[in-house]
Amino acid sequence: MKAPVTLIGAGNVGTHLGKRLRACGFSIVQVFSRELSKAQALAGELDAEAVNELSQVIAHEGLYLLAIRDDAIAEVAKSLSETGLHKGLFAHTSGATPAAVLQPYFERYGIFYPLQTFSTQRTPDFSEIPICIQAAGEADVALLTAIASEVGQKAVSITEKQRIGLHVAAVFVNNFSNYLYQTGESILKKEQLDFDLLLPLIRETAEKVRSLSPETAQTGPAIRGDEQTIARHLAYLQDEPTARRLYEMLTALIGQTRKA
């Protein structure tokens, strides 16, 4: 029998994960959100009960998924434990937060971290998402692995240090790349060109590293050491000090990989 799941949080991650768990045949016992309307909207889709008080969360020996803001995890965990919940496995979904924040409150605790970026406007394809898990005991590692294997592309059991590394790497490839897209967009805007022009290149850059390592995939003036083109680009950026500094730094860093 599949473990029952209680969803604490009805934001992006909670909503997408809840729907996926339900679609995979898991029973969602309750959905908690401080905003009752949000809890109700999601609970309705998941055949679950909606609650907006932590004291209403009922006890079972399954999984409690804390899909809430990083800075709310410790506080919510404390409140949950004060209501007398002790039997289940309590896991948060944050890549940024140590498992240890749950330790003072629960015997069984862990992390269930889908390595993906979620937004309300887009439906994630969980069959492609690796789910990173951490838990204290072997039985709980096995339980989270079983759930993550069904819900995601695969379950990856990681250490605390690996989780931090993954989260830092995620910031580089996601938030920072997105900032580079934003820089590209602002240059095109200045030239009265449509950002759409860059989309095929953005897509190909991302797809290329599925078959080539980023190191092998690198092209452009920095890796070629093409000083003439670099000088033209810096001249172009002379009135954009921010973009220019970033260009200089990344060009120097790519240049170092060339010399190495």
Range 168-227, binding a second copy (CB under 8 A) = 168-185, 187-188, 190-193, 195-215, 217-223, 226
Tokens at residue 144, please? 């989270």
CB of 111 to a second copy, least distance (A): 14
The residue range among 33-41, 75-83, 142-150, 153-161 that interacts with a second copy, by the rule CB under 8 A, is 153-161
Q: According to the binding rule CB under 8 A, does residue 258 interact with a second copy?
A: no
100 is a site residue for a second copy (CB under 8 A): no
Residues 3-42 that bind a second copy (CB under 8 A): none
Which residue, 23 or 199, has its beta carbon nearer to a second copy?
199
Of 4, 28, 2, nearest to 17 by C-alpha is 28
Q: Which long-range contacts (CB under 8 A, 24 or more apart) does 134-142 make?
A: 134/99, 134/110, 134/158, 134/159, 134/160, 134/163, 135/89, 135/91, 135/99, 135/108, 135/109, 135/110, 135/111, 136/99, 136/103, 136/108, 136/109, 136/110, 137/108, 140/89, 140/108, 140/110, 141/110
Count of residues touching a second copy (by CB under 8 A): 94
Out of 27, 117, 145, 150, name the contact with a second copy by CB under 8 A.
117
Nearest distance from C-beta of residue 83 to a second copy, angstroms: 26
Residue ranges in 123-152 that form contacts with a second copy under rule CB under 8 A: 124-125, 128-130, 132
Minimum separation from the CB atom of position 159 to a second copy (A): 8
Residues 6+ apart with CB under 8 A from 190: none
Nearer to a second copy, 142 or 193 (CB): 193
The least CB distance from residue 218 to a second copy, in Å, is 6
Residues 42-71 interacting with a second copy (rule: CB under 8 A): 70-71
Find out whether 85 and 57 touch, Cβ atoms under 8 Å: yes
Q: In this chain, which of 6, 93, 116, 134 binds a second copy, going by CB under 8 A?
A: 116
Spatial distance between the Cα atoms of 177 and 173, rounded to a whole number of angstroms: 5
82 vs 67: CA distance, rounded Å? 19
- Provide the terminal-to-terminal Cα distance of the chain, rounded to the nearest Å: 55
Q: Rounded to the nearest whole angstrom, what is the least distance from the CB of residue 180 to a second copy in the complex? A: 5
